[in-house]
Chain A
Amino acid sequence: MSTGQYNYSYIFKYIIIGDMGVGKSCLLHQFTEKKFMADCPHTIGVEFGTRIIEVAGQKIKLQIWDTAGQERFRAVTRSYYRGAAGALMVYDITRRSTYNHLSSWLTDTRTLTNPSTVIFLIGNKCDLEAQRDVTYEEAKQFADENGLMFVEASAKTGQNVEEAFLETARKIYQSIQDGRLDLNAAESGVQHKPSQPGRNTLNNDQQQNRYNKDNCAC
């Protein structure tokens, strides 16, 4: 494990946002530790998690910033939006108010992050079907109208948690490959270095050399 944490090609910064009590920290814990944390205290400001995943043969380290949902911490947590490559916006399917506040969270995200940031909508607690307060179709429509990826998940059962984090990473990686992640890079046609300012970093020299070598053939 300690060896693995140095063996990756990219680092993606994620933020997790949404109302308090929707399960942001439990989702993070389920993704990083693969288990449910029932007695989860509320987050003060920002908490932090990492995990290394693989996308298209590339090892990618996710640096995940889990923000506090309480309104009183909102001004503080806004400062961590900048430079995020991915934003996971979470609501609770059993509490309609958390769904109704998504527009406000989305506005913050659009305002404070780069246009190329991938935004993934997650409806958490899908294991509590009997208490459902927001239909899948309604949330899906909201996601489609705003250009968001969407999935319903359960931090308790682990359903779709992995998928949400991985799909976000795949889309970010695709943006890098397409050159859409950084407008400057796209405009100048620079593709030799996969790192982008403020979001991702190439941390393995060996990997970097191999990448450059591959480009020689082209």
Chain B
Amino acid sequence: MLQFWKKSGHKEKINISPIRNDSNSPTHSRFDENASNIYEDQTKNVNVNLLEDEGLSDTEESDLGKDHSRLSKTLQEVFSDRSALDYFVQFLDSKDCSSLIHCWLDIEDFKACVDREIRHRKRRNGNGCSQKFLSPARSIKIDHDSLSVSTDGDSFTIDSCSLTEFSSLENKPKIEEINCSLHDENCKKSDSKLEILNIYNHDTTKKDGSSSNTDDPQDDLTETALRIFKKYISLEADENINCSEDIRKDVIENICTTEKLVDPDCFTRVQNYIYEMLDKEYFNSFLNSDYFCRHQIDVLTSGNVTLEDILFNETALFYFMEFLEQENQRHLLEFWIAASNFQQQLRDQKDFLDPAEVQGDAVVLYDKYFSLQAHCPLGFSDKVRLAVEQSICGENGVNYDCFHLPLKIVEKYLEKNYFKNFLCSQLYYKYLSELINAVQNSCSHGANKHKRTPSDCSSEKSFSTTTTFLAMENPNNKWKTDKKAADMNIDTRQLYDPDALWKRRKKHRLSLGRVNALGRYEPDFEPDPGKKSESKLRNVVRKFVNLDEDKQKEEMAWQVAEMIIKDITSITLNEQKPS
């Protein structure tokens, strides 16, 4: 905890450096412009020097920081990252090659059991006679752990450890309670014949004395090892990993030693074989698969994306480079890439370095970015430049960390000024949407292959993310809608096309008539011609007669005519109904 606090404290101090360096450029230009302010500039330089000295020591502390991205995985990193490992297991399941990874995981669990047993043995030896009464209980507990861990995952291992510790505490108070615990445990473990046999053996052993207790855990470990062997390694194994006969014999010898002690490293050659197989034949395919895309989406949407995640992943770096291009800061990232490649090369080839060659490389970078005649100056302070010069052309030759300080300054500057904007930028959303599209396309194409529940959950999550993202862009939303069923297309078109709404109604002929332009109801039957002529006559008459008295007469006449028409219409309807 203290180290963590100390580390974070240093990081806070480092954040000051970019600000100072950023403001130093105008200071430098002021010095050029106004020589009379030498005293003032010297004061500022003193402040800068103090901060940079502090920063220099702090950046050395920050060497503990990671130089890799969670978006770029080596096989070892996948094994260490539970989230990535889950996707890797699913990927191998889809290739029907899960026996390799299952065998690896079982061996890891076995090694964990062996390590615990070794620790317990040391504790018993250290405590002497007082442990004898506790030995049987702990032995039984270990047996249980061994059997359970072999069939379940690491999460159960953690529970087993907790249970063991709790049981240890519980067993300390009284001998009578210990006896009761033993009795209870005997009852609980009666589910399995194997466990019953173990209990009987322990009873027999207890009668003979405690000297042979140390062999019992070994017997169970041997049994676990044999189970792994029969499941994965033997010729008739259910999940055969197809290792060579040489490895198989080696494993047999280590399990069945004359001393009847299981060799903790009996499966090392098997694990090396599995690692090599996975790394050569399956890992690259995994990196190109939609399972890894989903892992990347999980990282990118976790809200915890760091600058390292972007800088050390070449695809994300492609988008970040484009973003900085738009911000006119591309040269900073160019320098970071060149200098970090320089350092990486030194690390990779430490044993084969030619000092003159290394110095030549360093001078190329210095001339381009740091020198007073630099082709692409970055605006570092004189203090930083002098430090770099000293590192390159010092008395002891090139310091292989000569660009470490400017690299850290650039990282902090980018993180402080541009990284958050990048995570909110259109380019970042494009990057994310392309990963999501890749997963979506693969899911729709191979939907039948995803049979496991976790896979379905992942698909749902991806879809949810897609929906959330697409809500921001209407055009995309429209096209996404088009991918759905045809009915949805019709609905969509109706929303955008008023003519469709009108045309649809036209197709239905449920009405017996229509309302004409004058607002009068017109049935679609024989009286139509007569009504039309009446309508025309009425219009003609109205044009030439303006007296109120005449209008009243016309209205009365119209009402009479309407009554006559209604009578005729009703008669007509009654006549037509029978037919």
Given contacts A44-B338, A184-B438, A198-B434, contact A212 B479 (CB under 8 A): yes
A212 B478 Cβ-Cβ under 8 A: yes
Among the listed stretches B179-187, B344-352, B390-398, B513-521, which one makes contact with chain A, having 4 or more residues with CB under 8 Å of it?
A: B344-352
Q: Which of B337, B342, B433, B441 contacts A188 (CB 8 A)?
A: B441
Q: Are B361 and A44 in contact (CB under 8 A)?
A: yes
A83 in contact with B315 (CB, 8 Å): yes
Q: Do A45 and B337 touch (CB < 8 A)? A: yes
Could you give, for residues 68-93 of chain A, a 1 whenever the CB lies within 8 Å of some chain B CB and a 0 otherwise? 10001101110111110000000000
CA distance A80 to B334 in the complex (A): 13
CA distance A42 to B314 in the complex (A): 22
Chain B, interface SS category = helix
State whether B475 touches A185 (Cβ < 8 A): no
In the assembled complex, the Cα of A79 lies from the Cα of B339 at a distance in Å of 15
Contact at B322–A201, with CB atoms within 8 Å?
A: yes
Is the CB–CB distance between B334 and A48 below 8 Å? Answer: yes
Given A184-B445, A201-B434, are A46 and B338 also a contact pair (CB < 8 Å)? yes
Q: Which of A46, A50, A201 makes the CB contact (< 8 A) with B319?
A: A201
Contact A72 B321 (CB under 8 A): no
Given the interface pairs A184-B441, A201-B431, A203-B426, the reply to whether A11 lies near B322 with Cβ below 8 Å is: yes
Smallest Cβ-Cβ distance to A187: which chain B residue? B445
Residue of A nearest to B478 (CB): A212
B interface footprint on A149-189 (CB within 8 Å = 1, 0 otherwise): 00000000000000000000000000000000010110110
Question: Given A83-B318, A184-B441, A73–B434 Cβ distance below 8 Å?
Answer: no
| Cβ A47 vs Cβ B441 within 8 A | no
Flag whether B430 is at the interface (Cβ < 8 A). Answer: yes
A45 touches B368 (CB 8 A): no
- Residues from chain A with a CB closer than 8 A to the CB of B438 are 182, 184, 197
Contact A209 B314 (CB under 8 A): no
Task: Across the interface, name the chain B residue whose C-beta is closest to A192.
Answer: B479
Contacts A82-B315, A195-B434, A202-B430: A73 and B441 contacting too (C-beta < 8 A)? no
Residues from chain A with Cβ under 8 Å of B364 in the complex: 41-42, 44
Q: Please state if B338 and A47 are interface contacts (CB–CB under 8 Å).
A: yes
Are B441 and A187 within 8 A (Cβ)?
A: yes
Shortest A212–chain B CB gap in Å is: 5
Tell me the smallest distance from the CB of A187 to a CB of chain B, in Å.
5
A188, B315: Cβ atoms closer than 8 Å:
no
Residues of B within 8 A of A205 (CB): 426
A175 to B119, CA, bound (A): 62
Q: Cβ of A110 < 8 Å from any Cβ of B?
A: no
In the complex the two chains form, is B434's CB within 8 Å of A75's CB? no
Q: Quick check: is B550 within 8 A (CB to CB) of the other chain?
A: no
Inter-chain contact B341/A5, CB cutoff 8 Å = no
Fill in one digit per residue for B454-472: 1 if any A CB lies within 8 Å of its CB, else 0.
0000000000000000000
Say whether B435 faces chain A, with CB atoms less than 8 Å apart.
yes
Asked whether B214 is an interface residue with its Cβ less than 8 Å from the other chain, the reply is no
Q: How far is the CA of A44 from the CA of B402 in the complex (A)?
A: 15
List B457-515 residues whose CB lies under 8 Å from chain A. 475-476, 478-479, 482-483
The answer on a CB contact under 8 Å between A6 and B326 is yes
Task: Kindly list chain B residues whose C-beta atoms are within 8 Å of the C-beta of A192.
Answer: 479, 482
Contact B338 A50 (CB under 8 A): no
Taking CB atoms, residues of chain B closer than 8 Å to A215 are 479
Question: In the complex, which of the residues A5, A44, A82, A193 has the most CB atoms of chain B within 10 Å of its own CB atom?
Answer: A44
**Which B residues are CB-close (under 8 A) to A48?**
321, 330, 334, 337
User: A80-B314, A184-B437 given. 18 additional CB < 8 A pairs?
Assistant: A41-B368, A44-B338, A44-B364, A45-B344, A63-B318, A76-B341, A83-B314, A83-B318, A184-B442, A187-B445, A188-B444, A188-B445, A190-B483, A195-B433, A198-B315, A201-B322, A201-B430, A203-B322
22 CB < 8 A contacts A-B: A44-B361, A46-B337, A48-B330, A48-B337, A72-B345, A72-B349, A72-B352, A73-B341, A75-B345, A76-B348, A77-B341, A80-B314, A83-B315, A83-B318, A185-B441, A187-B441, A188-B445, A192-B482, A193-B479, A197-B434, A201-B430, A203-B322
Interface positions of A (Cβ within 8 A of B):
2, 5-6, 11, 13, 41-42, 44-48, 50, 63, 68, 72-73, 75-77, 79-83, 182, 184-185, 187-188, 190, 192-193, 195-198, 201-203, 205, 208-209, 212, 215
Sorted nearest first, the 9 A-B pairs with minimum C-beta distance are: A45-B341, A197-B434, A184-B441, A188-B441, A192-B479, A197-B438, A41-B364, A198-B315, A76-B341
